[in-house]
C-alpha cells in the first residue's frame, strides 16, 4: 500500500497548508451544523402546519387515546415462583425422579 507524505522546507508553505486543512475541516463542520439546523427548522414548520390544519378542520382530539379500563393490569393475577428453602433440595433435583408428579 502506498504511503503519501507532505513535506516542505518552507515554513510559510507548511503553515498555509495546515491552515487550509483546518479551514476545510471547520467549513465542513459548519455545513453539518447548518444542515442539522435546517432539518430542525423544517420539522418545526411542518409540525406547526399540521397543527394549524387540524385546528382549521376542527380535529382537536388528542392523537393518543387513554387506555381502556379493561386493559389495565390486575395485580391479583400475578404469579410468583415458590422460594426454595435453604438446606432442602428442590423437588426437581431428586435423582430418582422420572416424570411429573
Tens of pLDDT along 29-47? 999 999 999 999 999 999 9
Provide the grid cell at 71: 386493559
Percent of the chain with pLDDT over 90: 37
Tell me what the mean pLDDT of segment 81-93 comes to.
67
pTM given for the model: 0.47
Sign of the CA dihedral running 91, 93, 94, 99 = positive
Q: How far is CA 71 from CA 18, 67, 74, 78, 80, in A?
A: 65, 6, 9, 15, 21
pLDDT higher than 70, residue 22:
yes
Query: How many Å apart are CA 94 and CA 1, to the nearest integer?
Result: 66
Amino acid at each position: 500500500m502506498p504511503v503519501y507524505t507532505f513535506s516542505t522546507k518552507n515554513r510559510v508553505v507548511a503553515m498555509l497548508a495546515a491552515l487550509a486543512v483546518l479551514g476545510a475541516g471547520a467549513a465542513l463542520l459548519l455545513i453539518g451544523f447548518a444542515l442539522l439546523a435546517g432539518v430542525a427548522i423544517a420539522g418545526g414548520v411542518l409540525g406547526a402546519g399540521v397543527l394549524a390544519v387540524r385546528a382549521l378542520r376542527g380535529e382537536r382530539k388528542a392523537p393518543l387515546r387513554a387506555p381502556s379500563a379493561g386493559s389495565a393490569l390486575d395485580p391479583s393475577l400475578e404469579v410468583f415462583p415458590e422460594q426454595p428453602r435453604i438446606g432442602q433440595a428442590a423437588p426437581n433435583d431428586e435423582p430418582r425422579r422420572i416424570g411429573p408428579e
